[in-house]
Structure 1
Amino acid sequence: MDDYKATVTAVPESLRKATTYLQSQVRDDGHWCAEVKSNTTVTSEYITLLYALNLPVPDGPEPWISWIVSEQKFDGSWGPAPDIPGDISETVEAYFALKILGLDPENQVMRKAKSWILVNGGVARVRIFTRIYLACFGLFPWSSIPELPPEFIFMPVAAPCSIYYMASWARATVVPLLLISHHRPVFALPNGRNENNTYLDEIWCDRGINKNVPYTTSLWTMAWQLDVTSVACTVVDKALRYANGMRSTPWRLAARRRCLEWILERQEEDGGWAGIFPPMHGGVLALYLEGHYSTDPKSPFQRGIAGLEGFIWTDDRGKRMQACVSPVWDTILSSIGLLDAGLPGDNEYIVRSNAWLLARQDKDHGAQSPGDWRALNPNLIPGAISFEYFNKWTPDVDDTAALILAFVKKEPSSIDSDSVVRAIQWILGMQNADGGWGAFDRENNKLFFNQIPFSDMESMCDPSTADVTGRVIEAFGLVMEKHSKISRSFEKFLLTQSIRDAMKESANRGIDYLFREQEQSGSWYGRWGSNYLYGTSNVLCGLSNAHFIDNSRAGLINESIKRGVDWLVNVQNTDGGWGECLETYARPTLAGQGKSTASQTGWALMGVLTLLAVTDITVRRGVQYLLSTQREDGAWIEREFTGVGFPNHFYLGYVYYPHYFAMMGLGRYASLCGLKVFEDVPG
């Protein structure tokens, strides 16, 4: 018991230090935004794009070389995350970018990279996206890339293969690629312009003698495997190739024009598209190829370049490109972290951050509000928020559910505000038929897209996921809890009985979905965070709030919670923390295994606190791990990536994750212990 008392005594000071640190990081207008770390691919692709367009590299080559070189692994490769083995596509792209930037091929960095590339199959082994980037310089034949006819844009929304059944990130990337594929550009390199350029022949295993590398397995193999969808997609691709990609059709010009219109109307205020690098890279290149190059700063082309520049991050390691920026996400979660730590809702940092968020919620445009989610959901009233500074076309469910949590934790009466009610109604309208929620779209589950020749990352769709669904249930539960405590003298609720009934029905369908998704181990898969620790935490936080929605299912819910908590208890590390390696996406048997991190320990601690007492040894050890790993300045820092872009392919390191998730875990522990962290602290 003395150990318990010592732990409890240490928590308030830890939370106060953590709060001071987070407050020191706030931007002038009240929001938070840290670097979103990723691998070197987006930086490499940015460098080669600038070279293709004959544009200068900001601040010269050296800071870019410095950062790319610093990310090289000991074996000479570059990989998706710090502790993940090297990737052939990423390593080829990094080698190409460094060579473009002027690094001598005889430099040790380049020689090690070359050796690793050749041992691992050479350029011939790269994925489709890398093939496309190389083909733009004559380094890979366009004949070895799937056909992408611009006429695809004309597919009606009702058609199963409409672009609106692709995930938002895929859709925004594919439309520019339709134009790039039409033009099949070949840009000059230092050794000249050539459709069979030898600039990278030293990293082809056969010195580039045969670059016509198939991009699919043979039709016979697919047929033998009874893979009907892949056979059909490959047959269509071969027919398109036989017809020269339909380039001679009378409607090609109209298709190109429609693609261009689609791109231009979705360009955001900052010049970017969809808030992520791939559509921005493709959008700029498509505009250039369609004759929209301009030196006018207000032109779509120059605005696109400026949008890319807005993603550049610079520090003492050099310069790099971010895959995205996370101001809304960081601000919402920082606000929740501060509130969970015990900071009152009227604290100036909370007030300013909530005001900043409120200004970015999509609730002022009425029926004409933009958004690709409208294609399959035209009558839904807007009320969502996006992850980035500028991304009005693709707001998401996860941010919007988290926004509800932040607003209601700050001020319980906000459940009857226009902002919260609009967010609830939008989320209700985004629920899938299976009861779950995806991230950006409704019913975005045509998984055959993952089998087309173009898709070798298997991330073309946005179906329901347990982690997003869990957060929605948590938000709905919190709203219903606060509603039950509001004075009944209120008669004119915006949160009407019909909306509350819809929330109950929707939540029950979501809970059924979560029951079905629970693994035999008791855990849940995490799509947007690594991996089963993230999914399990989100679901447990949701299910623990579910009894405020419908207490009639308490038995089933409690049983599901117990299985999830038991799994978390069983995978706790000997140091008291929790960790899970990214390899679990390829090898689920590794679920819950990995080096302890503050972010994952924060997730797990929130999860176990839904059932276990604060005196439980599992809880105490988790709290002690966070206390022992906090820095003197109050921060938690980790090098591991615990965010996920595309499982098995692209991972993210959110710099603030270890900090605000640790605060949430410790804050909820402190609350359950009855601690008043800021009772006697001014501000």
Structure 2
Amino acid sequence: MQKEELEIRFKELSDILLSELNDDGFWSGELSSSALGVAVAVAALHFHDATLHEEEIKKGLGWLSSKQNSDGGFGDTPESPANISTSLLTYAALNLYAKNNTEVKATQQKLANYLITQNVDVRSDQVAKVILDHYQKDYTFSVPILTLCALCGIPGDDGFKHIPQLPFELALLPRRFYRLLNLSVVSYAIPALIAVGIVVFRKKKPNGLTRAIRTKAEKKALKILERSLPESGGFLEAIPLTAFVALSLINAGFRDSVVVDKGIAFLKRTQREDGSWPIDIDLSTWVTTLSVKALGNRENEVLTKTQQKRIVNHLLSVQNKTVHSFNGTSPGGWGWTDYSGSVPDCDDTPGTILALLELAPHHTIKEEILAGGEWLLKLQNNDGGFPTFSRGWGKLPFDQSCADLTGHCVLALLKLLHVYKSELNPKQKKQYTSAIYKAVDYLKKHQKENGSWLPLWFGNQQTENHENPVYGTARVLTYFQKAKLMLKDEPFLDERIQKMIVEGRDFLLKTQNEDGSWGGDFGIEGSIEETALAIAALNGIKSKPEIEKGLEWLDVYYKKNGLKKAPIGLYFASLWYDEKLYPLTAYLEAIKGYKDIH
């Protein structure tokens, strides 16, 4: 594409981005509707009061029937291929109404046929083995899935027989001990550990000492659950997690619990007009910082000073100011949304730090930025990498350090140090420098032999193991290139990063498709998101022919399909989603970066 054409496209896309600003002056985006979210929400409303929630349930069931895949199964998004977990949960929810509703019965029968093709017989105890084998030692999702199935009569009257008992009594221990325990759920799923653990305990009715201990622990565990309940009623603002907690407590005999009351109200409030639910309310902090990143040094051309100030004020207003009630992290971090169920995390915090430093006079945000920096320092793991929510949890994949978050933190900490270096004392400077060096060492150790890095919260449904090395590599390379601009006084670190950049660049060049696009890995069909992020990463690394070929593909694809979203996001245990603003912000970032260099 010619520079003039790129400029026209940049203007067109930035106008679209401006039109997506909400009335409060920031971006909230739109997450895809989720069959899994709909199924679990419908079940929760049914168990609470099927008559009272008849309208919401009817709309939810109608949405499911209209979104069934041609093979009879259900995927995580309407554009996703069917998978066993979502299909099985949907089958279970439909089972509550199939007997008296012919449309639901027809949908369920097609679904049963799909499950048979996946070697899942819903009438057999083999259901539990299939799900447990799929998730292995991680019970975060497998036990809730089997619990809902059992409550809905799948496979029969004693569906709880093969469901592992979640040790909810361990939640009574001080939080600082959680990471030392061999918990079978990830750190952010403690509400499920408690609620699902209690209903499994009550339904299985064990004898002996274990029963006595858990009976005594129930009331205290429920108090812990209540204390971590956000004002909105939605745990993590997540529809599936909140619904699992509510339906478990209802079936355990705690229908009148405040957790159930607020959780059901949350579910009713978050149902969309078409009868569906997303997996989460929104990712407003994340997509707002992505939008700022996409505009980069051209924000003054696109955003007025008033608009920039509103974004800054909003981001400052959602910084966590206290010890967080959900996971006990210290003040200073940012979560993914402005709703009360959000939890500070290690991607939104560096993203927000960088966005604020881009938009606001540095002296006006010093206190908040340094608090965010301190939060990041406290979260860094001993291996030098950064996890998402909680330091020291490493037994399950979604709690471990990961490359893309660590690269993001390297850039944010370097930028913070670059801006405020003269105002930091020697001890602070040493802490930041040490953290950066340790993080770079982590990234060196975790760069694959082919030069790639793997991300944690993003994947590709078409690759083996659903991994997305293109996304992970593109993000780390982009962070590293921006970091290098601040390393004039750190030649050793600069050299180490440069070597990794070269290896990462080679990987991206090798994974470009013949048509100019990038998918998640070698030979995978391209998407706007992956292609644009790969281009953004390659900008400035002397790869002009490959970049231009990628830009040509984007141009053709965009003219034909518009800003078509790809389900590359991961939520909880491999639950896929797409986000309306991902292709838009990625495309803008690619164009802006190319025009900056060429």
- TM-score, reference length from structure 1: 0.75
Task: Report 1 or 2 for greater relative contact order, CA contacts < 8 Å, sequence distance ≥ 6.
Answer: 1
Whether the 8 Å CA contact 2:446–2:453 is kept in 1: the answer is yes
Whether the 8 Å CA contact 1:408–1:414 is kept in 2: the answer is no
Q: Does 1:93 align with 2:84?
A: no
Which residue, 395, 402, 412 being the options, matches 1:465?
402
1:305 offset after TM fit, Å? Answer: 1.3
1:544 offset after TM fit, Å? Answer: 1.9
**Distance (whole Å) between structure 1 residues aligned to residue 326 and residue 72 of structure 2:** 43
Matching residue of 2:2: 7
CA displacement, residues 114-152 of structure 1 (integer Å, 9 cap, x when unaligned) = 222233231233523322102223434211111234422
Q: Does 1:302 align with 2:261?
A: yes
Which residue, 155, 158, 164 being the options, matches 2:177?
158
> Which 5+ residue runs of structure 1 have no aligned equivalent?
1-5, 186-240, 375-380, 448-458, 485-490, 581-590, 674-683
CA displacement, residues 620-657 of structure 1 (integer Å, 9 cap, x when unaligned) = 1222333333459xx9522420111256x421111211
1:513 offset after TM fit, Å? Answer: 0.5
1:155 offset after TM fit, Å? Answer: 4.0
Matching residue of 1:259: 221
Matching residue of 1:125: 127
Q: Does 1:67 align with 2:4?
A: no
Which residue, 552, 566, 569 being the options, matches 1:640?
566
**Distance (whole Å) between structure 2 residues aligned to residue 392 and residue 362 of structure 1:** 12
Select between 252-261 and 147-156 the one with higher mean Cα deviation: 147-156
Query: Which amino acid is 2:193 matched to?
Result: V
Whether the 8 Å CA contact 1:81–1:640 is kept in 2: the answer is no
Whether the 8 Å CA contact 1:362–1:385 is kept in 2: the answer is yes
**Distance (whole Å) between structure 2 residues aligned to residue 392 and residue 319 of structure 1:** 20
Whether the 8 Å CA contact 1:408–1:415 is kept in 2: the answer is no
Whether the 8 Å CA contact 1:11–1:627 is kept in 2: the answer is no
Matching residue of 2:136: none
Query: Which amino acid is 2:542 matched to?
Result: L
1:244 offset after TM fit, Å? Answer: 5.9
Which residue, 166, 170, 174 being the options, matches 2:193?
174
Which residue, 140, 146, 162 being the options, matches 1:144?
162
| Structure-to-structure mapping, 1:494-513, within 5 angstroms | 495-513=424-442
Select between 424-433 and 32-41 the one with higher mean Cα deviation: 32-41
Matching residue of 1:356: 314
CA displacement, residues 258-282 of structure 1 (integer Å, 9 cap, x when unaligned) = 1111111111121111232343123
**What percent identity do the matched residue pairs reach?**
23
Matching residue of 2:372: 423
1:481 offset after TM fit, Å? Answer: 4.4
**Distance (whole Å) between structure 2 residues aligned to residue 263 and residue 538 of structure 1:** 36
| Structure-to-structure mapping, 1:185-334, within 5 angstroms | 243=207, 246-247=210-211, 249=212, 251-288=213-250, 293-294=255-256, 299-315=258-274, 318-334=275-291
**Distance (whole Å) between structure 2 residues aligned to residue 121 and residue 306 of structure 1:** 34
Query: Which amino acid is 1:533 matched to?
Result: V
**Distance (whole Å) between structure 2 residues aligned to residue 72 and residue 436 of structure 1:** 41
Select between 286-295 and 53-62 the one with higher mean Cα deviation: 286-295
| Structure-to-structure mapping, 1:491-640, within 5 angstroms | 493=423, 495-530=424-459, 531-547=468-484, 548-549=486-487, 550-580=490-520, 591-612=521-542, 616-630=544-558, 636-640=562-566
Closer, same or farther: CA 312–31 of 1 in aligned 2, 3 Å: farther
1:353 offset after TM fit, Å? Answer: 1.9
**Distance (whole Å) between structure 1 residues aligned to residue 518 and residue 115 of structure 2:** 35
**Distance (whole Å) between structure 1 residues aligned to residue 496 and residue 269 of structure 2:** 48
1:92 offset after TM fit, Å? Answer: 2.9
**Distance (whole Å) between structure 1 residues aligned to residue 228 and residue 178 of structure 2:** 22
> Which 5+ residue runs of structure 2 have no aligned equivalent?
132-141, 460-467
Query: Which amino acid is 1:542 matched to?
Result: Y
Query: Which amino acid is 1:359 matched to?
Result: S
Closer, same or farther: CA 666–535 of 1 in aligned 2, 3 Å: same
| Structure-to-structure mapping, 1:376-395, within 5 angstroms | 381-391=330-340, 394-395=343-344
1:16 offset after TM fit, Å? Answer: 1.4
Select the structure of larger CA radius of gyration: 1
SS in 2 for 1:53: helix
CA displacement, residues 582-621 of structure 1 (integer Å, 9 cap, x when unaligned) = xxxxxxxxx34322211112211121125226xx111212
Closer, same or farther: CA 511–62 of 1 in aligned 2, 3 Å: same
Closer, same or farther: CA 429–245 of 1 in aligned 2, 3 Å: same
**Distance (whole Å) between structure 2 residues aligned to residue 289 and residue 110 of structure 1:** 23
**Distance (whole Å) between structure 1 residues aligned to residue 363 and residue 559 of structure 2:** 35
Query: Which amino acid is 1:572 matched to?
Result: Q
CA displacement, residues 306-337 of structure 1 (integer Å, 9 cap, x when unaligned) = 2223432335xx53343452122122212322
Matching residue of 2:585: 660
Whether the 8 Å CA contact 1:7–1:623 is kept in 2: the answer is no
Closer, same or farther: CA 59–355 of 1 in aligned 2, 3 Å: farther
Matching residue of 1:216: none
Matching residue of 2:150: 135
CA displacement, residues 449-491 of structure 1 (integer Å, 9 cap, x when unaligned) = xxxxxxxxxx5x501000100111122233344458xxxxxx6
Whether the 8 Å CA contact 1:606–1:668 is kept in 2: the answer is yes
1:288 offset after TM fit, Å? Answer: 3.4
Count of matched residue positions in the alignment of Structure 1 and Structure 2: 562
1:384 offset after TM fit, Å? Answer: 0.4
Whether the 8 Å CA contact 1:88–1:125 is kept in 2: the answer is no
Whether the 8 Å CA contact 1:407–1:414 is kept in 2: the answer is no
1:300 offset after TM fit, Å? Answer: 4.2
Query: Which amino acid is 2:523 matched to?
Result: Q
**Distance (whole Å) between structure 1 residues aligned to residue 152 and residue 62 of structure 2:** 24
